Structure 1
Amino acid sequence: MKMRKLFAGIAAAATMLAGLTIGATTANAADPCTVTLPTASTITINAENAAQLTSHTFKYAKIGDYTADNGVAGVKTTTGVAAASIKSALIAAGVEEGTLPTSGDLLSWAVQEGDLLDQTGTKDTWGLGSSRAFADSLKKSLTLSDVLSDNITISDKTAKLTMTSPGLYLIVDNAAVTNGSTSSSKSLAMLVGTEWLAAQSCTANDLSTGTINMKNSVDTINKTIADETVAVNKDASYTLTTKIPTYAGGLARTFQFKVGDQFDSQYAPSMISYKSGSVVVKVNNAELAGTDYTLTYYDANGDPTTDLDNAAVKFDIDLSSYVRKNGYDQTKDTANDGKFNVFTLQGAEVVVTYLATVHAQLPLDGVKNSPYIQIPNDPYDNSTLTTIPGPGKKVFNFPLVLKKTDKTTGGTLDGAEFALKDSDGTTVATATSKNGGLVTFEGLDADESGTTYTVEETKAPTDHILNPLDKDLEVIITPTFDGVNEAREVTQVVYELTDNMGGLASLTSSTITEYPGQSPVVNITVANVKNLTELPLTGGAGVALFSVIGLLLVGAAATVYVKMRGTKKALRA
């Protein structure tokens, strides 16, 4: 292949070789303008996202010096760069070895053969074409030096590198960078010339813009939860959102990409567990078949398990084969290098939804599970996976503890039975007073606006009567939250009574800020009486009591009246 094809392309600032137009003569032969060598030695790397550049460092190798011989701009191999390296790079780029000159400077010859040292800068072509092969070959053979930190200035979406002198450089990103839940992959190698402007080169256009686009991607995963407060025996609903990473330039055959989630094994699966059959995976809003990916659950030791109820604390969804299948077409691999060559999936949105069932009262600070993605993060090495964490989300629920006592003696009463109902009147739990009159409802749902529950006593303790006032206990539970994601916490839980049931109910601990474990905090004390005379006689309760007694007296009077009439009839007979 001729170098004209190797370096042919379109001129653009966002190209791999940055619009370096070498071998051009002056714009007008009659123009007295003289070609002068540039003095600027800076290279500007641009990015779409500031995270592509943040904390990245670079190595470099200068491969070409600018020349201005006989009014013609050119480039020649830098002293110290072996001719064999340039030759190998040209052959890797597709130049037939037999067409290479046997004498002279190969780099100078190569650029004279072509019009432009660039390719289009879109992500779809980063890993394709002769120029990419040329740069990657040089990366393997050249000795690289660090760009000193004093010579790198990164500001938002721009990095400026001050090089040793004007010329053509190979710029190599040192490594991927992970900052919290954001990771930017290692960039492909970049071949770029320092600035050589039209005014210096006596040409209509700049010979080199001195700029290039960073050739990496920013990889993240996000997580949401439909409702952060979930009652016992109910499901928490989670959604993970990420994107298939930029894979241009990478090897398809060994590419890996996984999406996963993990609970703290201290709480899972005993308190909360993944729900079987609930995982749904979509790519660009199209649901994948189960055969498109591999779903694996793991226990606390990291071993695969199928026991979701008793062992699983983590899962991952392996999408590697799906991406390889849809990102590589062997019939198009003319170079037989195994690199991705179909880019329809690159950057596609991946959405994973799944459920987890709550089994118990959760700790006050909630139970967290955290998402992650795993990718190679280095286009030149797929052997090591990088784990990129996402923001953890927490799920919470709340207890309600009553103490049953005797109204007169204050002693605790066991054996009272209760039903707990939600705002719709649906019974959500039942409990019996025991262990010193304690009635415990665990794992209740409640939100910051306040959630109302009704506690109905369905059976009185032995030798006591049910509340005759036709009133059930209404309790409002209101948690207060602070923080986000992993730092989300409950600062307090407030309990309120809407009515004191004629003095039979009273708040014991209206606010709790911690769960003491084996000795639960009693929120409300509820008393029982043995007979009506023990009921209070003041206020609304007194009125209710007199109403009850009045009804009883009316009933008794009616009975006496009936009996008296019967007696009179007997005497008249």
Structure 2
Amino acid sequence: MKLRKLFAGVAAAATLLGGMAFGATAANAADTASITLSGKTVKGTVYTAYKIGSYDTASAKVEKDKLASVGVTTDQAWKTDAENVLGSTVTNTPEYKGYGDPLAYVAGTTGYYTNTPATLPNASATMESFVQSLAGKLDGKTAVDPSQTVANDNDKVVFSGLDEGLYLIVSKTDTEPATDAGSPLAIVGTQVTVNGTAYTKLGANNQTLGKAVVKPSTPQKPSKSASDLNPYVGATITYTLEGTVPAKANSFKFVDTPSAGLTVKLDTLKVNVQGETDPLANTEYTVDPASGDFNTSAAKPSFTIALNNATKYQGKHIVVKYNALVNKKANVNGTNNDVRFDNSNQTTTTTITPQLNTVTFTKKGVDADTNALKGVVFQIVADTNNATPLPDGTATEATSGDKGVVTFSGLPNGTYTITEKTPADGYLTTALPSFTVTVENGKVTNVTPTGVGAGLVTFENGYANIVVKNVKKITQLPLTGAAGTMLFTVVAVLLAGVAATVFAKSRFTKRALDA
């Protein structure tokens, strides 16, 4: 887990303790205080509070009806750990003893979130380090019951019924094991009650007590969207990933995990900073794999997009776009595409519901079969140039029913050749109809009759009504298109045969007369 930081508006330990007084600790108000966390909270994050310090209200100073300062002492259960943490994170010598208390020392010397000049170098980082190290001492400590889980992104988190004092707030995701203590946020102080009056502001800067604004120092959850949530198999859609580089981030990486039903076209990937027209140069980020088509596998289930210099883009909103082909493995009940940030368990899932095309036409014959011809078998073959082959298990043969209707379903976008394979009894087998049909996003966009039986395929109302006929005699073929050409060819052959016969008979008669 990464350290999450509470920024402006947070009543951290140093806010409470800077310029404090010391002395015996007076009793704190019990069960009357609360702490509210707001801001960029993330669904599924579990926040837990630990009371680590108490107020010394006897030493509090109230000036002009405002709380100017108040003393604190570290609670006994935490005192040894706080002392040990100081030796490794704040100072190599126990100078806090001059203050009489480890929490008082940390606040008084860092001046964190106050106008008090810091007496330690890099005071903000020192306080952050102290909080982070103290959160590593949770074993055996008693937490506020219950912990609070964020139901929806940006929901407020409220700890109520608290004793007044200082609290260490830690967080983790709800997918992490219960034994994981969680990452530190900060030390947050509640209201302070002095002589019956509850104060929610402290010091000349009017720092707010009991409230904190969450701004993750590492990205927690990216957003993701698809240009079409109901695409047809064989279609290409655009995915958009978005996330803001945190103010203190040293790295920033999307981890994208598409389902097997998506073929990601990495060569189409572009990275933009929101608000800027031109995409970033490809030298500003690294995609792994770098190019080509990406299909998830057990060996490499994800691809990544990482900024090469995250510090350069701190606070910037990053937008990534790429195209993906919905391939034959797409699950029509829901095809997922997940994204998260590196080193985070907060995943965003975008689910598309792919669709497949259907081609329907009517088979008709002659005589009694003029309106419908039952029992005729057709086969369908996908064009080799289609972006997506037929999904495994797709029926490639269909038979006309009682009303002559033939249906091929489960077709990705593309072009197909449909040919009559087995005609009905008594029908011509030498001029079987065939046609190509193109389907795209639920519509037939083109029909082209082909072969000797081309004239047997007709359509009207665009391509809404496709009719495929068959005949019993060659003379019943339409005199148009290829079928008409065939008929004329047959007639020509017959005439040529007649001419040859006449010529032969003429030669025979002439030889007889000459004899």
- Paired amino acid for 2:321: V
Cα 1:193–1:454 change in 2 (3 A) is: closer
CA contact (8 A) 2:245 2:316 kept: yes
**Residues 217-236 of structure 1: CA distance to partner in whole angstroms, max 9, x if unpaired?**
6513312135854575xx51
- 1:236-385 paired onto structure 2 within 5 Å: 236-244=236-244, 246=246, 248=248, 252=250, 257-264=253-260, 268=261, 273-275=263-265, 277-284=267-274, 286-289=279-282, 292-296=285-289, 301-304=297-300, 315-319=302-306, 322=307, 325-327=309-311, 344-346=313-315, 348-356=317-325, 365=332, 368-377=335-344
Structure-2 separation of matches of 1:38 and 1:415:
85
Aligned with residue 474 of structure 1, among 430, 445, 460: 460
Unaligned runs of 5+ in 2: 1-6, 62-68, 117-121, 177-181, 384-413, 424-431, 479-515
Structure-2 separation of matches of 1:128 and 1:112:
12
Structure-2 separation of matches of 1:476 and 1:366:
31
Shift of 1:435: 4.2
**Residues 548-567 of structure 1: CA distance to partner in whole angstroms, max 9, x if unpaired?**
xxxxxxxxxxxxxxxxxxxx
Higher strand share: 2
Structure-1 separation of matches of 2:14 and 2:31:
15
CA contact (8 A) 2:17 2:108 kept: no
Percent of pairs with identical residues: 12
Structure-1 separation of matches of 2:124 and 2:310:
17
Cα 1:127–1:147 change in 2 (3 A) is: farther
Secondary structure at 2:192 match in 1: coil
Q: 1:486 is matched with which residue?
A: none
Cα 1:142–1:203 change in 2 (3 A) is: closer
**Residues 350-407 of structure 1: CA distance to partner in whole angstroms, max 9, x if unpaired?**
313124275x6x8893773523224323xxxxxxxx2614112244331314465542
- Paired amino acid for 2:37: N
1:92 paired with 2:89, answer yes
Cα 1:84–1:243 change in 2 (3 A) is: closer
TM-score, normalised via structure 1 length: 0.54
Secondary structure at 2:127 match in 1: helix
Unaligned runs of 5+ in 1: 1-10, 26-34, 121-125, 180-185, 305-313, 328-341, 378-385, 421-426, 478-495, 506-524, 536-573
Shift of 1:148: 1.0
CA contact (8 A) 2:50 2:168 kept: yes
Shift of 1:12: 5.6
Cα 1:119–1:431 change in 2 (3 A) is: farther
Structure-1 separation of matches of 2:202 and 2:232:
70
Structure-2 separation of matches of 1:257 and 1:290:
15
- Paired amino acid for 1:372: V
Structure-2 separation of matches of 1:355 and 1:282:
18
Aligned with residue 224 of structure 1, among 223, 226, 231: 226
CA contact (8 A) 1:400 1:440 kept: no
> How many equivalent residue pairs?
395
Shift of 1:60: 1.1
Cα 1:345–1:67 change in 2 (3 A) is: same
CA contact (8 A) 1:40 1:195 kept: no
Q: 1:407 is matched with which residue?
A: 366
- Paired amino acid for 1:259: V
**Residues 514-541 of structure 1: CA distance to partner in whole angstroms, max 9, x if unpaired?**
xxxxxxxxxxx54457477799xxxxxx
Secondary structure at 1:303 match in 2: coil
Aligned with residue 47 of structure 2, among 57, 61, 79: 57
Structure-1 separation of matches of 2:356 and 2:254:
31
Structure-2 separation of matches of 1:391 and 1:87:
47
Shift of 1:193: 1.3
CA contact (8 A) 1:223 1:241 kept: yes
Shift of 1:167: 1.5
Q: 1:457 is matched with which residue?
A: 449
Secondary structure at 1:129 match in 2: helix
Aligned with residue 439 of structure 2, among 439, 444, 448: 444
Aligned with residue 132 of structure 2, among 131, 136, 140: 136
TM-score, normalised via structure 2 length: 0.59
Structure-2 separation of matches of 1:415 and 1:52:
56
- Paired amino acid for 2:170: V
Aligned with residue 78 of structure 2, among 68, 81, 85: 81
